[in-house]
Amino acid sequence: MQRAGAVLVLMLISFVGALVSKRPKSQDILFDISYLLALLLLVSAVWTWINIRTLHLVRVTRARRAQVGRTMEERFAVVNTSIVPKLWLEVRDHSDLPNHRASHLVRGLRSKGRYEWRVTTICRRRGRYTLGPLSLTSGDPFGLFQRQRQLTPTSHLVVYPMTVDIARFALPVGILPGGDALRRRTHYITPNAAGVREYVPGDSFNRIHWPSTARRDRLIVKEFELDPLADIWIFPDLHEGVQAAAELLPSSAIPYVPLAPWAPARKVELDPTTEEYVVTIAASLSQHFLRRDRAVGLVSYGQDRELIQADRGERQLNKILETLSMVRAVGQIPIDHVLVAEVDQLPRGTTLIIVTPSTSDTVYAASRNLERRGCRVIVVLVDPASFGSASSAAGTAALLQTSGTPAYLVRRGDLLGQVLSSRGEFVQTSFKPI
């Protein structure tokens, strides 16, 4: 716009000079200059308006779900719908996903042309992010005018917490007392066949009971009951008062590293906070047991009370990961109070896995109380001392070891998959790993 102002001033000077000039030739020249500058301003303004109004932008997000440590991909396309070529076009993205660099400069977009590009981003932090809005900026060939057009439609991306593969996890064998009490039909194939019935369309062929089929001369399938194995409930501790954190970079300060298609996969480090370690451990344990066809539930007290009833399958894993992607360690209720409030709703024989950075003896007291109620307890301790806190969880781990409660001790920088897969110093050998 400064250039347009300078041209406008020159046009006015030429026009005024032509009016006051007493020489006919000078007048003609000055009038021609002023008309030429006026025409230049008009053509540039119209060209800029056409440039910005005759564009169509397409944004395609490959998936609305991603995970920390993995990539998300977006494809963009700009289409010139007019016969006027675009010498330059700036596409600016205003997404709040950390390190998502979707802004682009398009040069030389020919008439009726199309330009495409792809953006691949490594997801570094869990949460719910907004993709968009976008703004388009273009101008005339002389650089006199620039116009901006806002594209307000947005979409959302949910980034799940990171999960690690666990080879085995020391878990008490949780058989529900009174096996006859569990008589619930299930579409899962389990070791417990409850009976047979006639085949209906949709039944899997591997459920067919061939001896009964041969005797009755029609297809007969088996019915199954749920395994008499105790449900697993995971309690991540999101009490604000027990969390610890080393220096944490804001999202805008995370260094950007270009991701080339041929480059090897980059390892993403967890944020140095007990909150992220607690959430990642809870997500990894949920994945571990659900992949082994165990029923898993989740209870957390962060911003709100979150309760996911115990269930099996991939859908249950997605529900747990989506819940954990949004929770924050801002709760005001200690984990021992959470356990007291929730344990009455759990049947005897239930296995509880507590993931906490707390160093208080109340964790030990709560675990003893739960065991007296007939629950089986495992504690995963995230040591706050490794995150800069003055208190350590080693004493709590030793106390749990003495009482016979299985416990894992996780420190900052540990390979979570290895730590949770090993029996560890604090895990008792009387419990069977699965």
Tens of pLDDT, residue by residue, the chain (434 residues): 678 888 888 888 988 888 888 788 888 898 899 999 999 999 999 999 998 999 999 999 999 999 999 999 999 999 999 998 999 999 999 999 998 999 999 999 999 999 999 999 999 999 999 999 999 999 998 889 999 999 988 899 999 999 999 998 876 544 444 344 444 555 555 555 668 888 888 788 888 889 999 988 899 988 766 555 678 999 999 999 999 997 665 655 555 555 555 455 557 889 999 999 999 999 999 999 999 888 999 999 999 999 999 988 999 999 999 999 999 999 999 999 999 999 888 888 889 999 999 999 999 999 999 998 889 999 999 999 999 999 999 999 999 988 888 999 999 999 999 999 876 444 443 334 44
CB-based contact 103:260 (threshold 8 Å): no
Say yes or no: 208 and 242 in one domain.
Answer: no
φ/ψ of residue 359, rounded to 5: -110, 10
8 lies in the same domain as 80: no
Residue 179 lies in a domain: no
- Is residue 317 included in any domain, yes or no? yes
Instruction: Give the position of tokens 């998959």.
Output: 417
Residues 369 and 271 in one domain: yes
Q: Are residues 244 and 256 in the same domain?
A: yes
Residue 93 lies in a domain: yes
What does the radius of gyration of the chain's CA atoms come to, in whole angstroms? 33
The range of the structural domain enclosing residue 13 comes to 2-51
Q: Are residues 151 and 218 in the same domain?
A: no
Domain CATH for 68: 2.60.40.10
Cα angle 206-208-214, degrees, rounded to a multiple of 5: 140
Taking Cα atoms as reference points, which of 412, 408, 413 lies closest to residue 427? 408
Tell me if 168 is assigned to some domain. Answer: no
Domain boundary, last residue among 193, 225, 257 = 225
Q: Is residue 432 one of the residues assigned to a domain?
A: no
359 and 403 share one domain: yes
Closest C-alpha to 419, from 169, 235, 198: 169
Place of tokens 């944004």: 59
Provide the 10 A C-beta neighbour count for residue 40. Answer: 17
Looking at the structure, tell me whether residues 129 and 215 fall in a common domain.
Answer: no
User: Do 381 and 338 belong together in one domain?
Assistant: yes
Domain shared by 156 and 70, yes or no: yes
CATH code, domain carrying 239: 3.40.50.410
Task: Please write down the HEC assignment for all residues of 215-236.
Answer: HHCCCEEEEEECCCECCEEEEE
pLDDT of residue 203: 81
Same domain, 108 and 13: no
Please tell me the number of Cα atoms within 13 Å of 16 on its side-chain side: 6
Note whether residue 371 is domain-resident: yes
> Same structural domain for residues 107 and 9?
no
Instruction: Specify whether 117 is located in the same domain as 14.
Output: no
The pLDDT value given to residue 426: 44
Give the chain's domain count: 4
